[in-house]
Structure formats: C-alpha cells, structure tokens
Chain A
Amino acid sequence: KAGVTQTPRYLIKTRGQQVTLSCSPISGHRSVSWYQQTPGQGLQFLFEYFSETQRNKGNFPGRFSGRQFSNSRSEMNVSTLELGDSALYLCASSLELAGAYPNEQFFGPGTRLTVL
C-alpha cells in the first residue's frame, strides 16, 4: 500500500504570495492532519480534516487554511506569505475508524517551503 504523498516536495515563494500544498493520504484513511516544522518552534499542529470537515485547528492565523476532498485528499493554503512561514509542512493520515486503536498517524515526507 502506498504511503502518504505530498506535493510538491520543495517550493520557493516570495513574501506576499500565496501557496497551495497537496497531501494524498494512505488509501482508506479518512483523516488528514497538517503540521508545521521549524527549527525555532518545532512541530506544531495546524489543523485536521475528516470527511471534508475541519474538526480542529491549532493556533495559527487565518492566513493558513485547508480543505479536504471527497477522496480524502487534502490541500492547505497559505496566503500573504511571510518570511516566518518558511518551514517543512508535514501531512499525516490516519484511519479514524470508530474504536480503532489509537488512530495512529502516518506521516508524509513533507513539503519544504522557502519564503524569500
């Protein structure tokens, strides 16, 4: 079974632009979570989607948004990019079956975003 895939793997943008990152979960997984990883702040939870609905959101500004499609694929968008948005963005998927132990998250390789 294929793992979590993220595209693109690397991205360079300039301040003020917007960017869209894509995540394809493991087949059959219904939940997709996004994380931001920076040297200073470490790994931080952005948001999680399940059945095309955002179930929870971390402490990030409204410039960070996402969505999930009917096939569970997810995208996240960052508008009006700032230098501080430079980071590795990780996507993780989980099965999310009722009663399933404990919804283990499988991570993708990440998208390295550089904002100049």
Chain B
Amino acid sequence: AQTVTQSQPEMSVQEAETVTLSCTYDTSENNYYLFWYKQPPSRQMILVIRQEAYKQQNATENRFSVNFQKAAKSFSLKISDSQLGDTAMYFCAFMKTGGGADGLTFGKGTHLIIQP
C-alpha cells in the first residue's frame, strides 16, 4: 500500500508571492502517477498538475510547477505569482500505473490562503 504525506496543514502568503507546498510519498511501485488537486471552498475538486514517474522532466502548467524527486519520493508544488483565486485546499495524490482501478491515494491536504 502507498501513503502520501503533506506536512503543512495550512500556509498563508501574500498575493503575487511564490509558495511551495510539500508532499512526500511512500510506495514500492516503480511506475505511477502523481497529481496535485485543488479544492476551492465550492468543493469541486480540480486537477492542477500531473507527473508521470518515468519522466525526469518536471511538469509545468502556467504558474504551477512541480519539483519531482523520485529517489527521495518527494513531489512539491510551486505556485508562482499567487492570486486570490488560488486560495483552496491542495491535495497531493498518487495512482499506480494501470488506470483508476486502484483509485487515488490522497494526502491530508494543505489549506493555502492567499492574502490580499
């Protein structure tokens, strides 16, 4: 079984600042995917960014990027030029290769607050 740990229950930064959310995971699998999901106060879970474990290049999506360290089993999310709309719960998640059959394993989440 795999576990996902997010060590920062809550973070608060000023608008336009850069913030990094931490995530570590434990697995014996070699092929897997990692995700960051955002859950705003409206509760709709949205995929922010994903990373395939076999890819060495870190994924980026506009202001969002990850630092994937496979050997260290670390998968942090960096948000640049943070905006008020980035305020949300952020969940790090793991999925074994092979699709959704085993489901996503989530961390406990980090509540990110962007202050004006």
Contact = CB atoms under 8 A, between A and B. Distances in A.
Contact of B100 (A43, A48, A109, A110): A48
Interface centre among B52, B97, B103, B109 (most CB of A within 10 A): B103
Given A43-B106, A107-B44, A109-B42, A48 B101 contact: yes
A108 B101 CA distance: 18
Q: How many B residues touch the partner, as a band?
A: 20 to 34
By secondary structure, the B interface counts as mixed
Nearest to A102: B33
B16 interface: no
Given A33-B100, A42-B108, A50-B100, 13 more contacts: A35-B103, A42-B107, A48-B101, A50-B101, A56-B102, A58-B103, A88-B43, A92-B100, A92-B104, A103-B95, A104-B47, A105-B100, A107-B44
